Amino acid sequence: MASIALETARPRRHGIPVARIILFILLGLFALVYLLPFFIMVITSLKSLDEIRAGNLVALPEVVTFQPWIDAWGKACIGLTCEGIHGYFWNSVKMAVPAVAIATLVGAFNSYVMTKWRFRGADIVFALILFGCFIPFQIVLVPMAQILGLLGLASSTSGLVMVHVIYGLCFSTLYFRNFYMAFPDELVKAAMIDGAGFFRIFFKILLPNSLPIIVVTVIWLFTNIWNDFLFGASFTGGGSQPMTVALNNLVNSSTGVKEYNVHMAAAIIAALPTLAVYVFAGRYFVRGLMAGAVKG
């Protein structure tokens, strides 16, 4: 922890208060700017349409109504069906949970092999997998659509799970690899000498000690997969769409009155799962971002 401020400020103590006040004002203003859009979403979702038209962006609702939330969940029209977003919300859950679980487990296993059972060419294999994390997915859209069609998985949640596992694997492999690189080889060797086998070492020694990186990987994958739009929009239609695609269809449908309050309620519902993860496990979320950005 650097303690720059205190140490440098000490010789000039008389100048501190004014500088500190400006500092706090600046930080507070920025916090307001970052919070404002979410605040506006929340208050808009609690107003009636009439009140929205009569009032303005930041006016608090005079009469708080939860009707927009109820409508968004169960009645709003997406495409031709008017059953709200709840079905799409569950589509996203059914897509994200298995995809995250599979990609995490396979990534952990891959990394175990790459770091503790090194073989010639392991680095090249890793480099090949790693680059896959960063390709623009536009390059795979058409072939993937064709393959999903061939496999009979077009427009299905299982198809999306497969796609997300495939393109999530490289990140989980990357995260676990960096973590297992730092895991002491001596423990693994000692276990080998004691006669523990390939699987035993992984399940009894590495995996129980991997909780921090499991949390980071799960958060990263969950956020990315839940928030994905490109794959969802490209490979699904109608009732199998994930939440993000349904939200976009709801907001950008050109028919009927624009129910801004319902749109905002739906948008908040779409954001809630990842926001909850962020608020409760923010520390790990940041670490995940860092791990994705800076490799070792």
Partner 1 sequence: MVSVPFTAPSVRQKSARYRLQEWLPRLVLAPTFLITVIFVYGFMVWTGYLSLSASKMLPSYEYVGLEQYTRLWASPRWYVAIKNLAIFAVLYIGISTVLGLLLAILLDQKIRAEGVLRTIYLYPMAISFIVTGTAWKWILNPGLGLEKLMHDWGWTSFSFDWLVNPDMAIYTIVIAGVWQSSGFVMAMFLAGLRGVDSEIIKAASIDGVTLPTIYWRIIIPIMRPVFLTAFVILSHLAIKSFDLVVALTGGGPGYSTELPATFMYSSTFSRNQVGVGAASAVIMLMTVAAIMVPYLYSEIRGGRRNG
Which parts of 31-60 interact with partner 1 (CB under 8 A)?
A: 31, 33-35, 37-38, 40-41, 44, 52-53, 56-58
Q: Which of 196, 237, 215, 222 is nearest to 80 (CA)?
A: 237
Say how far apart CA 115 and CA 178 lie, in whole Å: 9
x/- mask, partner 1, residues 219-248, rule CB under 8 A, reads ----x--xx-xx--xx---------x--xx
The SS3 call for residue 34 is helix
Q: In the complex, what is the shortest distance from the CB of residue 90 to partner 1, in angstroms, rounded to a whole number?
A: 17
Q: Compute the least distance from the CB of residue 66 to partner 1, in Å.
A: 19
Judged by CB under 8 A, the chain residues 71 through 130 that form the site for partner 1 are 106, 109-110, 113-114, 116-120, 123, 125-130
Q: Are 245 and 233 in contact (CB under 8 A)?
A: yes
Which residue in 239, 218, 192 sits closest to 89, CA to CA?
239
CB of 289 to partner 1, least distance (A): 6
Helices (H) and strands (E) in the chain, counts: 14, 0
Q: Which of 80, 193, 211, 257 binds partner 1 (CB under 8 A)?
A: 193
Residue choice 78, 169, 213, 291 for contact with partner 1 (CB under 8 A)? 169
**CB of residue 279 vs partner 1: minimum separation in angstroms?**
7
- Specify whether the CB–CB gap between 109 and 169 falls below 8 A: no
CA distance 161 to 96: 7
Q: Considering only residues 252-281, where is the footprint of partner 1 by CB under 8 A? A: 252, 260, 263-264, 267-268, 270-271, 274-275, 277-279
Q: How far is the CB of 253 from partner 1 (least distance, A)?
A: 12
Contact partners, residue 109, CB within 8 Å, separation at least 6: 202
Q: Which is nearer to partner 1, 193 or 211 (CB)?
A: 193
Please give the DSSP secondary-structure letter assigned to residue 146: H
Contact between 183 and partner 1 per CB under 8 A = no
